[in-house]
């Protein structure tokens, strides 16, 4: 595709495209594009990645968010790996009951998404993040409390644990992502988000692998 624009960089790139292509004429339109130099494009990927990781390390808030989210993802994935086995083997829940637990428990996530902005403005972003982690922990503790004398009570408490964890998860991630995007310069926001994802999501398979190994013991 050959593109004729008022931007000289685009016209220069167009010379390297095949000749038998569709010609697109954009008249009276001025497009401003910030195209990296060829030198920047040829830099090794790990060099650019290390520079963005350095931004996270140098910022106390960004580093704290990344570490806390990585720990949360590690524990949450480890928990979810063994959770189904636990409620089936130890609690004796059937497929329909498990569906009911997850279905009703997801209401907590919906409520958390709806009220996260209100809670953050009312209590502050920092308190919201800390409070969300507490709710996630309380939801997990409820699940593993020895209360299973009655299937009905177990079903209610398992659903309550799912609702608290779902509410806390939604409040936490909405709050911490909003904070990270608010304090990160716009020109490096995408790179910082990618570096954060590398750290926080990289912990998830580690948690799942560890719990899968422990489950076999």
- What is the token pair recorded at 124? 């502050």
pLDDT score recorded for residue 103:
92
**DSSP output for 167-193:** HHHHHHHHHHHHHHHHHS-GGGHHHHH
The partner residues of 142 in beta bridges, in order of sequence, read none
Render pLDDT for 14-35 as a digit per residue (tens, 0 to 9): 454 454 444 443 334 444 445 4
Per-domain boundaries in the chain: 2-34, 52-215
pLDDT score recorded for residue 195:
82
> Could you tell me if 188 and 48 are in contact, meaning their C-beta atoms sit under 8 angstroms apart?
no
92, with CB counted inside 10 A (0-12, 13-18, 19+), is exposed
pLDDT score recorded for residue 132:
93
The partner residues of 25 in beta bridges, in order of sequence, read 4
pLDDT score recorded for residue 3:
41
pLDDT score recorded for residue 5:
43
CATH of span 52-215: 1.20.1250.20
pLDDT score recorded for residue 10:
45
10-residue mean pLDDT series, the chain (217 residues) = 44 50 42 49 58 76 89 90 85 88 91 91 90 91 73 87 92 91 84 85 90 80
Question: Following CA atoms 68, 71, 73, 74 in sequence, which dihedral angle do they give, to the nearest 10 degrees?
Answer: 170
Quick check: helix, strand or coil at residue 132? Answer: helix
- What is the token pair recorded at 160? 């309550």
Quick check: helix, strand or coil at residue 24? Answer: strand
């Amino acid at each position: 595709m050959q593109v004729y624009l008022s931007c000289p960089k685009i016209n220069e790139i167009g010379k390297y495209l095949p000749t038998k292509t569709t010609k697109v004429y954009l008249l009276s339109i001025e497009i401003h594009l910030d195209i990296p130099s060829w030198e920047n494009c040829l830099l090794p990927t790990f060099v650019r990645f290390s520079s963005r990781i350095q931004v996270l390390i140098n910022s106390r808030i960004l580093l704290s968010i990344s570490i806390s989210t990585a720990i949360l993802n590690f524990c949450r994935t480890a928990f979810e790996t063994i959770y189904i086995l636990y409620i089936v083997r130890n609690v004796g829940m059937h497929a329909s009951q498990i569906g009911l637990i997850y279905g009703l428990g997801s209401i907590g996530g919906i409520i958390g998404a709806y009220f996260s902005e209100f809670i953050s403005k009312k209590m502050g972003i920092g308190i919201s993040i800390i409070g969300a982690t507490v709710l996630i922990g309380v939801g997990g503790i409820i699940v593993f409390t020895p209360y299973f004398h009655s299937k009905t009570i177990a079903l209610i408490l398992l659903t309550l644990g799912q609702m608290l964890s779902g509410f806390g998860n939604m409040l936490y991630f909405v709050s911490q992502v909003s904070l990270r995007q608010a304090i990160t310069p716009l020109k490096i926001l995408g790179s910082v988000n990618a570096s954060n994802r590398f750290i926080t999501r990289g912990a998830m398979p580690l948690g799942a692998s560890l719990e899968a190994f422990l489950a076999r013991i």
